[in-house]
Structure 1
Amino acid sequence: AVLRSGSKPIHVRLAEDFSIDAKVVKEAICGEVKMLVICNPNSPSGRVFKKDLILDIVEYCREKSVMVLVDENYMDFIDPSWDYSVSQQVNEFDNLFVVGSFSKFFGMPGLRIGYGIGRPELVQNIEDHLIPWNINALSIVAAKAALNDKDFIEKTKSYIKMEREKLVEMLKQIKALKVYPSATNFLLIRILSDGVNARMLQEKLAKEKILIRTCEDFHGLNDKYFRISIRKPEENRILVEALKRILE
């Protein structure tokens, strides 16, 4: 998206555990930077950052006249989210804009529903550049229904958290893998064994009708990283058993 807009991306490397060092981020804010984009929770690691950390960076960027776009696409998986989401603070900062979508938590990518939260004048500026009829009527109905389905929301949060914890414990038994902490519906994993990379693992698992997402195309990662989704207990078990057979 940045490249398509004609802008030049400047990547800020996270720590080895995928945490944010506010000092490193601030040092990267130079004269040519117009906007800082932060994914919270992060993709592809699944790590979530505390609200205070994000707001500290937003405040620094305001002093430098730099906009901050916070992508909270995976925030719906966090419970409680108010310790992490900065969507309630948008009126306090004229340089803060928060975006999200219904594609991840609600599983509705085909409807192309997204949203942005910011101060009225910022929202109006964005609306002035939108194409007419950018969201269809059926998508609006679906979005409202999803937000009102409190039972689904609570059950999904609870289910993902429970199954994620179970899956992490099973994966920890495989010494050839390092599993990174996640607050979302996916896990980032690094292969520790020599002679095996994520592409090779992907090909072997595909023969067993199991798909994983290789992550070498993410900036800063190499061919040792891959990502998996949290699925049903039986599917998670089948995945772990397949990984054990291949790596052990």
Structure 2
Amino acid sequence: MSFPSTVLNTFRPDVLAMHAYVVQSAAGYIKLDAMENPFELPAHLQAALGERLGRVALNRYPGARVFDLHQALRTHARIPAEMGLVLGNGSDELISLLSVACARPGAVALAPLPGFVMYEAFARQTGMKFVGVPLTADFELDTAAMVAAVREHGPALTYLAYPNNPTANLWDEVAMQAVVDAVAANGTGLVVIDEAYQPFASRSWFDKLASQPHVLLMRTLSKFGLAGVRLGYMVGRADLIEQVEKVRPPYNVSVLNIEAALFALEHADEFARQAETIKAERERLMAALATMPGAKAYPSQANMVLVRVADAAGTFAALKARGILIKNVSALHPLLANCVRLTVGTPAENDAQIAALAELLREPLPLNAA
């Protein structure tokens, strides 16, 4: 049976104009394009996790076990009892839920750019207006521009990724505080601090939450080492978190997600060890890039490094031809012209990445590319 093409008009015009999020195939490649923890669990932990997941009641909806995960996360992250906590199927779902909960007519979401693309995507999907404020040329917060935008637009949601993606840097605390204060001065609106890359960063905003009741903080277990499990959490003032909880779908976190996350938190020392290795490898990758005339690497506090090269598309293609998959981010924003993003891999993966880049980036950057 065929249907008339006009059936597509059932969908909103803005949805018809969108592009779906596409994940490129990584089969056969060294996968360094998605900021994943590159380490698998040791064999004995794999066996223990497999046995444990095998006992999970897949025939039942998630039940009280989710509250065990709440408590385990509170203990792990030292979340005070008076703060609210809500779980999401990754941080992405939490951003979506915030947009749903705050999408009053005329509501604005605001974020620095370049930044995590899902802030804008979910805002627009729920009918919110999105306002992006460019970073400086060195990918720092433009404090004056951010404060002016907050005053002009009165955003319902102001996102600050700490560290930022894809630039990987931690912004200046004074600049961050100026934005947080500007939102508070408006008398309405939330600041959402996204600490997805916290395992690799030297600073956190967490200890400031108690004195900043309009600030919510998001984290995820994806970068912790569980990207495939899809589990994010958000904390903040209990009555604010309660409003997000109201729009959370029932059973959004599966029994397998819950059990795998509990297992990981019980073995947090293993994931902490992996994070330390990743941080050491990041410094080794940064040191190697500093010797390459055709590369300008920017400071990183995440498990990725942003690098400006003479030809981002050419560098991406050449690495792919050598069996290494990275991310060409040059088209995401004008400030990212000729930039690629490298994930920090295992020592062996980084050896291959460094060797290939050293061969490709031997010629100095042209002045207009630096």
The structure in which a higher percent of residues are helix is 2
Cα deviation for residue 42 of structure 1 reads 0.5
1:52-71 aligned at under 5 Å gives the runs 53-64=175-186, 65-71=188-194
Q: Hey, what's the Cα distance between the residues in 2 that align with 1:6 and 1:46?
A: 29
CA distance in structure 1 between the partners assigned to 2:182 and 2:228 by the alignment: 37
1:218 to 327, 332, 351: 332
Q: Which runs of 5+ in 2 are unaligned?
A: 1-121, 363-370
Paired residue type of 2:211: E
Partner residue of 1:10?
A: 131
- The Cα of 1:52 is off from its aligned counterpart by 5.0
Written as runs of structure 1 = structure 2, the 5 A alignment for 1:123-202 is 123-191=241-309, 193=310, 197-202=311-316
The one-character-per-residue Cα deviations of 1:71-102 (angstroms, maximum 9, x if unpaired) are: 111112224xxxx3223333333321111111
Per-residue deviation, residues 119-159 of structure 1 (Å, max 9, x unmatched): 01001111111111111122122222222323223312321
Q: In 2, Cα distance between the equivalents of 1:217 and 1:71? A: 23
Counterpart secondary structure, 1:221: helix
Equivalent pair of 2:313/2:328 in contact (CA under 8 Å): yes
Residue 240 of structure 1 aligns to which amino acid in structure 2?
I
Taking every aligned residue pair, what percent have the same amino acid on both sides?
Answer: 28
Q: Deviations over 1:100-122 (max 9, x none)?
A: 1111222x233221111110100
TM-score (ref. length: structure 1): 0.88
Where relative contact order (Cα < 8 A, 6+ residues apart) is larger, the structure is 2
Whether contact under 8 Å (2:229, 2:261) holds in the other structure is no
Rate the CA distance shift 1:56–1:144 in 2: closer, same or farther, 3 A.
farther
> Structure 1 residue 51: deviation in Å?
4.6
The structure with the largest alpha-carbon Rg is 2
- Which shows bigger deviation, 97-106 or 149-158? 149-158
Cross-structure match for 2:346:
232
Number of residue pairs aligned between Structure 1 and Structure 2: 239
SS in 2 for 1:37: strand
1:47-73: CA deviations, max 9, x gaps?
013555433421221111221111111
- State the match for 2:141 in structure 1: 20
1:33 alignment partner, one of 150, 155, 162: 155
